[in-house]
Structures are given as C-alpha cells and as structure tokens.
A and B are shown apart, each in its own frame.
Chain A
Amino acid sequence: MSFINYSSREINCKIVYYGPGLCGKTTNLQYIYKKTNPDSKGKMISLATETERTLFFDFLPLALGEIRGFKTRFHLYTVPGQVFYDASRKLILKGVDGVVFVADSQVERMEANLESIDNLRINLAEQGYNLDAIPFVIQYNKRDLPNVVPVGEMKKGLNPRGIPDYEAVATDGGGVFDTLKSIAKLVIMELKQGQPG
C-alpha cells in the first residue's frame, strides 16, 4: 500500500525482502546503503540480536529522485528469516507494495528456501494479498559459493511462473541493484495501473 501525497508531491512505497534465515536479506540492504549517495538515503535501522541476527526488521529509506515531479521514496524492509519469528514476519508484510524473495543457493538450504516461499505465500494471504498478483522478484543469492544448486533447478523449484529473477552475490554487491531496480519498476508500474479514473 503506497502513500501518495499530492500536497508534498511524494510517493512512498514499501518493499520487503523475504527469505530463509541467513540467506542475505540484511546483506542486500547493507550493500544498497553502502553504495547509495548520502543525500538520497536515511539511516539504516537494524533491530537485531547481539549475534547480528535480525530480530524484528531492518529498515532503509531510499529517495531515488523524481518521477513526473513526484519525489519517489522506497522504504526497504527485511523480515527475520528464522522460522520461529513468524509472528514478526507477518507484521512486516502489512501494507507491502512489492516483495523480493532472497533464496540461498547452497544445496543444503534448498529445503529452507521452499519452506520460506510457502510461508511467504501463506503470510501474504493472511493479509489479503495474493503472491501471484503483487510485484514480486526472486534473487538467487550466494552464487559465489562452491556448493550451489544450478540456476535452472532453482528456477524449477522456486519460480515456476517465470517472474523476473536474478543471480547475486550480495556480499560484493553482484545482482543487488538489478534486483532492486526490477522490483522498483514493477511497483511503480503497479501504481500506474492502479490509478483510479
């Protein structure tokens, strides 16, 4: 649910990074934070445990510039990936405009990916959203590791609909901005279609 302010001429959209524990959601945001012009970003907030596991969410506001005279802001959120934080995950999906699913490419995490994407679908449905109908992209992260599942196989398991998907190495930034750009585009196009009259 975006916020369109005709008074201050701003559009704010909410994008949520979802995925299993330790797949690199926070790393995606950290890279974006690191590489963004200081003028266009706010503080990055991480509600994490002492061992740097996300406890509630990370939050990064990004001002990308103007579209047709409207300042465009994206609020990026991550969810806590660990299975037992499901109650918190549901809360963060409230009012979401677009979802990035970050998959961990390692063979041993494939099951966790599948479980997490099912969990995403269920939690979205609880909020009244259909995963097949909202802006959604997938990122196959950690492609630099030796024990990765071939992309074709990951697509088969996680992306049967053939939505936009990207290979990434979030630690060095590969694919991070491609993913962000793709979801931003889908969210804005959705705004365009969703306009009344």
Chain B
Amino acid sequence: MLGSDLVMYEEEFKQIDAELNRLLAQANAKVVFLVDKNGQLIAATGETENLDTTSLASLTAGNIAATGGMAKLLGEKEFSILFHEGQRDNIHISIISQRVVLVVIFDQRSSLGLVRLRVKKSAELLSGIFSELLKKVETGKGAAAGGDSPFAEITDEDIDKLFG
C-alpha cells in the first residue's frame, strides 16, 4: 500500500481499542499498543501513564525495520515475531498483515507462552479490522462518513498559525 495515507475512523478505532483491551486482560499484560510500520502510534492501553509511548512507537518501528532489513539479506520475507527479555519486563512484538505492529509488554505475572497464544488470536481479529479499514479508505467511503475533509479548506494562514 505504498503512497496511501493511513486513515483511522471512529468505528474501527473502537473495535481496535476493544481488542487491545481484551488482549491486555487475557494475556495478563502490562501494556499493549499498536503501531504503524512507519512509527505512528495507533492505539495503546494498559499502564501507559508513565510510559513515553510516542518514543516507544518510533523505536519499535525502527526495530522492525532493521529486523526486516536483516530478513531480506537472509532471503526471508520478514521475521514476524521479535521478543526482548528483560530482568523485570519483557516485550513481545509481532507484525500483523505486514503493515501494523502489535507490541505487548508483560512481566512475571504472565508468560511468553500465554502472550504468544493470545497474540495469535488477536492478530487474526486485528488483521480483519485493518483490511476492512483499507477497503473503506480506498473507496473513499470513510471520508464521507467522517464528515467533510478537514484539509480541503486549509489556508496558508492556518499553517502560519501553527508556528505562532
């Protein structure tokens, strides 16, 4: 899907948010978040108050990109799962539909096996939501459903205002 913008609408966002919350509970995880492969945070849930999720999202994408580069050199399509083990917290990272990245942070209250199992289930569901979303964006239906495009009326002044 080169060149197309990632667009998120209310309806899909709610579905995704619900699924992440379910995964959080079922996997006994601390934090679950979803990142676009380019590093944009899509949704996050769990103990995120003291977590710099924006930076984590960007670094996750960098991590996935670097690992993808390694895969290519080895003739693999991708390494779809990454796992980082720490003393206290662990991170499980998986690629969904080759486009978004699901990140689960968990501690000793859970286990790698449980996380893997639950992630697999959620991945299928999230994959479905994203293919629906892509269809919606391609047909342009979403824009109509979401009201007028916020960009159509942007002026130079609007942009100047951003910089005070």
Contact = CB atoms under 8 A, between A and B. Distances in A.
A33 to B, nearest CB: 13
Contact of B3 (A65, A128, A177): A128
Contact of B140 (A7, A11, A64, A197): A197
Interface string A184-196: 1100110110111
Interface string A39-81: 0001101010000000011010100110111101001000000
A1 B4 contact: yes
Interface residues of B, number: 46
Contact of A7 (B5, B8, B151): B8
A69 B42 CA distance: 19
A91 interface: yes
A5 interface: yes
Interface string B126-159: 0000000000010010111010011111101011
Nearest to A192: B151
A4 B58 contact: no
Interface residues of A, number: 49
B159 A184 contact: yes
A133 to B, nearest CB: 10
Given A59-B55, A61-B54, A68-B158, A87 B6 contact: no
Interface stretch (B32-40, B76-84, B85-93): B32-40
B121 interface: no
Contacts of B58: 45, 59, 61, 75
Contacts of B69: 87-88, 90-91
A30 interface: no
Contact of B143 (A56, A94, A197): A197
A12 interface: yes
B154 A7 contact: no
A5 B158 contact: no
A75 B40 contact: yes
B9 A3 contact: no
Nearest to B72: A87
30 contacts: A3-B7, A4-B8, A6-B146, A7-B14, A11-B150, A42-B55, A59-B62, A61-B54, A64-B162, A65-B161, A68-B151, A68-B153, A72-B162, A75-B39, A75-B40, A75-B58, A88-B69, A91-B68, A94-B37, A128-B2, A128-B3, A181-B163, A184-B159, A185-B159, A188-B154, A191-B5, A192-B154, A196-B143, A197-B140, A197-B144
Given A4-B6, A59-B39, 8 more contacts: A5-B42, A65-B162, A67-B162, A91-B65, A95-B38, A184-B162, A189-B159, A192-B151
